[in-house]
Chains A and B, each alone.
Chain A
Amino acid sequence: MGLFQSKPEPAKKAPIDENSDGVQRFFENYFKDLRGRGEKQFEKATEKHSDSFKKELDATIKKANSQLRVHIAKQLFEQFEDSDKALKTAQAESLTALNRNVQSLEKQYADLGTTLEKTVNRQSAMFTRTFEENMARMKTMQEAQEAALRSLNRNVEALELQQKQLSVMLKDNVAKQEATIIEAFEENMAQVVEQYLVGTLGDHFDLKSQLPLIIDQMEADKKALSDDMKL
C-alpha cells in the first residue's frame, strides 16, 4: 500500500559547475514555484483520495471486524468444543474413578463387615466360654466352700465334744495331780527337812566337836575296821 509512503525525491541534479548567483536564484525560484504547485496538487490529491481511503478503511475495518469476529467465534467455538471434550473426558474419567472408588469402598465395607462380624462372633464365643468357665469355677468354689463349712461345722462339733471330754479329763487329772503332789510333798518334806539341816548345820559343825561322835561310831565298828586293815 503506497498511500502513506512519501514520494521519491527527484534525483538530484549534478551541481552546476558555474557558480553564479543569477542562475542559482533562478532555479531556486523555479523549484520554489514547483514545490508550491506540487504541494497544492498533493493537497488536492490527498483530499480527493482521503475520502475514498476513509471509505476503504471503514470497509476494510468492518470487514476485518466481521472476519475477526467470525474467527474469534470460530476459535472460541473450537476451544469450547475442546474444553467440552476434555471436560467430558475428565468427567468420564472422574466418574470411572469414582465408580472404582465406590466399588473399592463397597468391597472394603463388605470385608470390614465380614471381619467385624467374625470378630464379634469370636469375641462372643470367647465371652460365652469364659463366662461358662467362670460359672463352673464359681460353682466349684461354692461347693468347696460348702464342703469346708460342713467340715468346719463337723470340726467345731468334734472340738466341742473333745473340749467336754478334755474338761472332764482335766478335772480328773487335776484331782489326781493334786493327790500326787500332796503325796510327793509329804514325801519330800523329809528331804526338805534334811536339806534344811544340811544348810543349817553344815557350816557350824567343826571337826573337833564331832570327834567324840566319830570315835564312838568307829568304836562301834572297830572290829570291821580292824578286819579290813588286816586283810
Chain B
Amino acid sequence: MIKSAHLDHEHFILPPTIVSKVDVSRLVHEVELVDSELTAAALRTKSHMTPHTNPTLSDQLNDFLQQNALSIGTSRERTSLIKELRLLKDKAPVVHMTFATTADRESLEYLVGWLRSTIHKQSIVTVGVQPSLIGGVYVRTPNHVHDFSLRNKLKGQHELLLKELRALTKGKKHV
C-alpha cells in the first residue's frame, strides 16, 4: 500500500462504487473492523502466538484506498482515516434523488459519476422511489429542489394539451 503523508477528508476522491451515505458509513465501519483486527494481530505477533495475516478488504475500500493513495498499515494511519471518513460522512454534500422506478446500481454509479465530475467531487446520493413521477428524477439538494420528472413536464404542458384537445373536439363537432 502507498503511504500518504497528509490526510484531509476534503481532498478525498470517492470511487464510483461509493454512491450513497450508507456506502460511506459502511466504509467507516469496515476500516474500524480492519483496525481492530490488525491491532489484535499485531498483539498476537508480538507474543509469537500466531503468524501475521493481512485482512481481506472489500472492493469499495480497496478502490477508495487506491484512488486516494492511502495506507492503513499502522494504527495511527487507520485512526486518522477513521476520523476523516467520519467527517466525510457528516460533511459530504448529499443529493436526494427520487425516481419513478427502482434505481439500479449501474445507473446510480453513472449519475454519481456525473455529479462528482460536474457539480461536486464528493457528492453522495440518497435514493427514493415515487411512481407518480412517471419518469425523470426529482432532485433535492441541501437548499433547493429540482423537479426533472415527466409529471412536472406534463403539468407544464397542461394548457397546451388542453388547447390541442379542445381544437380536436371542435374539429370533431364540425365534422
Contact = CB atoms under 8 A, between A and B. Distances in A.
A54 interface: no
A222 B118 contact: yes
Interface string A170-192: 00000000000000001101100
Nearest to B131: A202
B103 A217 contact: no
Contacts of A224: 144, 146
B101 A207 contact: yes
A205 to B, nearest CB: 4
Nearest to A225: B119
Q: Does more than half of chain A's interface fall in helix, strand or loop, or is it mixed?
A: helix
Interface of A: 186-187, 189-190, 193-194, 197-198, 201-202, 205-208, 210-211, 213-215, 217-219, 221-222, 224-226, 228-231
B142 interface: yes
Given A193-B161, A197-B134, A198-B151, A214 B111 contact: yes
A187 B158 CA distance: 9
A194 B154 CA distance: 7
Contact of B123 (A198, A217, A229): A229
B164 to A, nearest CB: 9
12 contacts: A186-B165, A189-B165, A189-B169, A198-B132, A201-B150, A207-B101, A221-B146, A222-B119, A228-B143, A228-B144, A229-B95, A229-B141
A210 B146 contact: no
B101 A186 contact: no
B167 to A, nearest CB: 11
B100 A202 contact: yes
Given A207-B107, A229-B141, A221 B134 contact: no
